[in-house]
Structures are given as C-alpha cells and as structure tokens.
C-alpha cells in the first residue's frame, strides 16, 4: 500500500518540470516515503531513489526523508538487511539531493538529538555531510564552519571520560566521535594547505578561520578537561590521539606557532552584547591555556618549535595560561595548570629569574592563585603539589625578587600557615646572607628591617586570635630567636638590635598580653565545661563550642575538653619559645655591656 502511494506520487511528478513542483508534492512524497520506511519497504524505496528517471524528483524532495531515515536506522539491528538498505538510501541522497537543502536537513537532524543518541547520530551523518560540503560551490567556508560548530555544540554537554575504565568503555561514544570529526575535517584542511602552497599570499582565509575556530573549540572541549597522561593498558589513548590530530591541523594551516607565542585567536564575532564578548574571551583563554599545556607538558608538536627561546621567556609566555588554569576548580584543569607551571620552572636555574619580572601582573597573580589552591583545594595531592611549586617559584628568583615576592605574599595570603611558611623562607635567606662571604643587601640591614616590620607584629595587637595565628607566631618567634643567636649586638649586620625597642613594642609585649588573656579565657572555658558535665551526670552529653567566633560541630563533653586543652598546650608552647627569646636577648645585651 505504502509503495503504491509512493509510485503514484512519483508518476505524477515525473511529467512535471522541476519548476512546477508544489508544496503539496513535497509533503505527499515525504509522507509516502516515511510510510515505506516504517512499514519495512526500504528495499523498494531504494529502487525508486536509484531509478534514473526519478533523479530530478529525488534531487528536490529527497532531503525530506532524512529524519524518518535516521529513526529507522537506529530501530533496526546492526546486521539487519533493512538497515543496510536504509544506509544505502542515505548514501544515495548525499549523492543526488540539492546540497544546500540536504545540508540544512542533516544539521537539523544533528541538532535535534540529545543524550546517548548524540554521538550515534553524528557518527552516522558525518560521511553524507562531508559529501554534501565537498559538492558546495558557494559559501563553502561558512557551511563547513556551521557544520563543525553544530557538531561541537552537540558534543559539548556530554561528560568527558576521565578514568581508565571510562575511557575504555566510551559509553556515549565521545572518544570515537572525536577521531571521526577530525577525519571529517581533513579534506578541508588539505584544501587550505593546497591553496597556501600555490601562493605565499593566501587570501582566501575564510575556510582557514573556520578550521581554526574548530581547533580552538576542541582545545576547550574535550581536551581541557580530558585525562591526557599515558595510561597503562590503553595502547592508543583516544584523547592523546585527538590532541595530536588537532596540533597537526594547527601546524598544517600555519597557526600553531602564532597561537603559542603571539596568542593569536583568529577572527572573533562582532558581538553587540558584552556578555557574549566576555564568554568568547574566556573560551579563547581556556583554549590557549590548554594548547600551551599540550605543547610544553605533553610535548605534542614540540618538534615544530625552534630551540631559541630562553626559559625565562617561556615562563613569561605561559604565565597568562597558568593563571587561567589555576583559577578553575576542576581537578583535571587545575592539575594541568600546576603541571604547566612546574614544567616551566624546572627549565630554569635557581636564582636566575630577574626581579623585574614581578612588574608583570601575572607574576604577582599566579603565586596568589597558588596560595588559594594550597589553602582551599579539597584535594590533598593538589594542595601538596602547589606548595612544592610555590617553593620552586621562590627559588628561581634573584635576591631582590625573593624579597619583593615575600612582601607581596605576606600582605595578600591572609592565611597563618602560608605566612608561617614565608617567614621560614625569609629565615633561610637571612642565613644564606650571613654565611656567605658577600652578604645580600636585601636580607640584611635596613631592607631586612623593613621586611621584619611585616613579620614581627600581631595583626590585631593583643586581641589577635593566637590560636588561629599560631603557625605565623611560632615562625616569627623562631626567626627572632635565630637573629638574636646569629647576629651579635656589636656586629648588628641584620639591624635587629637597632630595632629591638620597636620589636618589643609591636610584637613581644602585645604577645605577652594576648597569651595571658587567651589562657585565662580557655581555662575558664575548661572550668565551665567540667561543671556542666557534673550537672549533666554524663560524659556522653552532646554539646557545642564556639572557637574564634565560629560554632564548631556538635561534640561530647570529653571531646570539647580535649579541644580546649589542646589550645592551652599551643599557648604554653608559644609562651616557652617567647621566654627563650627574651632570655637570649637579655643574655646578649648583658654580654655586650660586659664587653664594653
């Protein structure tokens, strides 16, 4: 019945001229063709389409069959003859239909899919889509760009497989799809290459720009979030292969080096909405950061670069990218930022990075971002790695650079643990200055005293939360103890003896007062807690405690007492080091007076 209806429509249209086809004819052809497919008459429909007499009809009306055809292909099993007939129909339509109309039909079909069918649909339609695009004479570059954009926009919402098991399973087919899309783009890359080889002044840049946009989009997704390390048991890592293919395209169209070193982004759309401009800028920054990671960490395409760039210049080129990556919170992206930073630093000799580099905004922002990773990142291995990279960054600077960086981090970190770590580094630099034949002017004398003004003080005087700032306070006391021991009052190379009165006023005296207040407060808390426990007649009573203005999680009375005693122990430790420092100062002053 369905075949008879189709034959009747075909016979009616065969006697008409192409210009005389009406909207009604298109609708009747689509309905009859769809019915043939749904009723299992794909073989008969294929015969109709292959009939030379129907060539004009198929050219004008065939594209309407794309949607029902794709549905039927997914309905039939892999080895079903009907499925094979449908695939042959699809191939015939790609050869015979009006390219412009079929292009829109194919893209519309890709846009309408979602979820698990996205990759299946893309893989199915890539070959006919490529065939259609290669036949286009006008607006080919625009059509290629539109096709790649539609495909990538459909793939982008899909989760990127990350673990070895997920990559091997490739549940949604994304890994397979990435490779297929590159194969789809290859003829157009070859066309650009061929045209560039013909003329050194290649003027037809539109197709090249569309391919560049595709590469930039691929760098942002899936490569930015993909796991790109070699995985045992996976012979050919799909995302590493995809990364290699994208790098090869960039090299072929002569955009790899400009992107890496000149940060060329291609032609951007002229958005009127500022929000769209910001999104475009962010996406471009993500793509360039990923490209630098691929080149300098994974060494994709590294052979294409001349070995003429110094390590300091490479670090400078990459600091913008490192900053972009460190501001992200995803483990896969954050780890790429840390790896890129580490890779750049390991190329450099210690003490070789000039302090003038700190005049660049990125050289100040990146260590601050690194501190945020150290203190806020929930993943311990990334926190530890960021700490080791911060030390690496410090080690690469010259003395003045270290000095400037220390000042900056002390003012901006807002974290007692980080401040304590920086103070320990200051102590190490002072030690090097005092033990070298030629001491550094930056960690002795008036420069050091200026730095100590930031170190040897309590942020809020006697009312400073000593428990919260204990790491910083202990590091400061240890530094002061070291200075008193190593630097005699008569030599005063560090200048600490001349500044002793100020240190006592701003640091030692307020610390004494603060310790007395804190110990009294916590001893009173312990007494109250014990009394409350006796009243409750049970040590398992759940209660709450507030420390540093923050309410702690519910805990038993015994747990609460343990916390309070731990705080007292910290205060005793600070007090003992403070007493030792004051004792050393007194001994040194007395010894100096005896010598005089």
Local structure of residue 538 (DSSP, 8 states): -
CA–CA distance from 215 to each of 8, 149, 164, 223, 245 (Å)? 49, 11, 25, 10, 10
Q: Which residues, at least 6 apart from 522, have a Cβ–Cβ distance to it below 8 Å? A: 564, 567, 568, 571
User: Which residues on neighbouring strands pair with residue 397, listed in sequence order?
Assistant: 353
Residue the block writes with tokens 């360039």: 288
Cα separation, 39 vs 33, in Å, equals 10
Tokens of 141: 């570059």
Q: What is the pLDDT at residue 21?
A: 64
> Which tens digit of pLDDT belongs to each residue from 270-279?
545 556 555 6
pLDDT digits (tens, 9 = 90+) for 335-389: 999 999 999 999 999 999 999 999 999 999 999 999 999 999 999 999 999 999 9
Q: What is the DSSP letter of 351?
A: T
Measuring CA to CA, which residue among 416, 406, 431 is closest to residue 464? 416
Could you tell me which of 347, 213, 229, 322 has the C-alpha nearest to residue 269?
213
pLDDT tens-digit map of 161-177: 999 999 999 999 999 99
Element (H, E) at 179: helix 174-198
Half-sphere exposure of residue 555: CA atoms within 13 angstroms, side-chain side: 14
- Confidence band, pLDDT 50/70/90 cuts, at residue 45: confident
Nearest 10 degrees: Cα torsion 117, 118, 119, 121: 80
Listed in sequence order, the residues at least 6 apart from 425 whose beta carbon sits closer than 8 Å to its beta carbon are 391, 394, 402, 406
Q: What is the pLDDT of residues 123-162, one digit of tens each?
A: 999 999 999 999 998 889 999 999 999 999 999 999 999 9
**Other beta carbons less than 10 A from residue 93's beta carbon:** 24
Residue 262 has what pLDDT? 73
List residues bridging with 550 in a β-sheet: 547
pTM recorded for the entire structure: 0.88
- Higher pLDDT: 372 or 557? It is 372
- DSSP string of 191-260, one letter each residue: HHHHHHHH-SS----HHHHHHHHHHHHHIIIIITTS--S--TT-SS-HHHHHHHHHHHHHHHTT-HHIII
According to DSSP, residue 41 is labeled -
Q: Percent of the chain, pLDDT > 70?
A: 88
């Amino acid at each position: 019945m369905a075949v008879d209806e189709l034959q009747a429509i075909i016979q009616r249209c065969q006697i008409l001229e192409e210009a005389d086809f009406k909207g009604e004819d298109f609708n009747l052809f689509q309905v009859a063709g769809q019915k043939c497919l749904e009723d299992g008459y794909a073989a008969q429909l294929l015969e109709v389409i292959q009939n030379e007499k129907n060539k004009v009809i198929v050219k004008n009306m065939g594209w309407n069959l794309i949607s029902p055809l794709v549905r039927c292909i997914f309905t039939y099993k892999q080895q079903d003859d009907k499925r094979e007939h449908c695939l042959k129909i699809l191939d015939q339509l790609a050869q015979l239909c009006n390219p412009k109309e079929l292009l829109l039909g194919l893209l519309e079909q890709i846009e309408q899919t979602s979820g698990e069918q996205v990759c299946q649909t893309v893989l199915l339609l890539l070959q006919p889509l490529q065939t259609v695009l290669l036949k286009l004479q006008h607006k080919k570059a625009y059509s290629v760009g539109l096709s790649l954009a539609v495909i990538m926009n459909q793939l982008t919402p899909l989760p990127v497989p990350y673990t070895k098991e997920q990559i091997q399973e490739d549940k949604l087919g994304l890994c397979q799809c990435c490779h297929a899309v590159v194969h789809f783009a290859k003829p157009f890359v070859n066309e650009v290459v061929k045209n560039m080889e013909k003329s050194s002044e290649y003027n037809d840049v539109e197709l090249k720009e569309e391919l560049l946009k595709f590469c930039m989009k691929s760098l942002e997704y899936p490569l930015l979030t993909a796991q790109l390390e070699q995985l045992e048991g996976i012979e050919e890592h799909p995302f590493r292969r995809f990364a290699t293919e994208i790098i090869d395209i960039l090299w072929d169209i002569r955009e790899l080096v400009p992107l890496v070193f000149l940060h060329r982004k291609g032609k951007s759309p002229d958005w009127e909405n500022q929000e769209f401009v910001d999104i475009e800028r962010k996406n471009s920054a993500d793509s360039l950061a990923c490209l630098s990671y691929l080149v300098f960490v994974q060494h994709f395409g590294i052979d294409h670069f001349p070995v003429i760039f110094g390590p300091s210049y490479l670090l400078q080129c990459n600091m913008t990218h490192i900053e972009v990556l460190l501001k992200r919170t995803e483990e896969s992206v954050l780890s790429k930022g840390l790896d890129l930073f580490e890779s750049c630093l390991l190329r450099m000799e210690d003490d070789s990075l000039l302090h003038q580099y700190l005049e660049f905004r990125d050289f100040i922002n990146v260590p601050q971002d690194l501190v945020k990773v150290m203190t806020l990142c929930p993943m311990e291995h990334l926190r530890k790695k960021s700490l080791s990279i911060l030390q690496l960054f410090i080690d690469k600077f010259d003395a003045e650079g270290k000095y400037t960086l220390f000042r900056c981090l002390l003012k901006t970190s807002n974290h007692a643990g980080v401040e304590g770590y920086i103070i320990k580094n200051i102590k190490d630099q002072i030690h090097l200055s005092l033990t070298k034949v030629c001491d550094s002017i930056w960690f002795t004398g008036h420069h050091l005293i200026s730095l100590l003004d930031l170190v040897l003080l309590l942020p809020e005087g006697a009312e400073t939360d000593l428990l919260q700032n204990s790491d910083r306070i202990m590091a400061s006391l240890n530094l002061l103890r070291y200075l008193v021991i190593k630097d005699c009052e008569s030599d005063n190379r560090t200048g600490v003896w001349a500044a002793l009165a100020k240190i006592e006023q701003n640091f030692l005296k307020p610390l004494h007062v603060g310790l007395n207040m804190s110990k009294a407060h916590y001893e009173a808390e312990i007494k109250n807690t014990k009394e409350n426990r006796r009243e409750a007649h049970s040590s398992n009573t759940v209660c709450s405690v507030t420390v540093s203005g923050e309410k702690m999680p519910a805990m038993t009375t015994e747990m609460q007492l343990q916390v309070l005693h731990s705080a007292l122990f910290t205060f005793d430790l600070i007090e003992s080091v403070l007493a030792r420092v004051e004792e050393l100062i007194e001994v040194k002053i007395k010894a100096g007076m005896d010598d005089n």
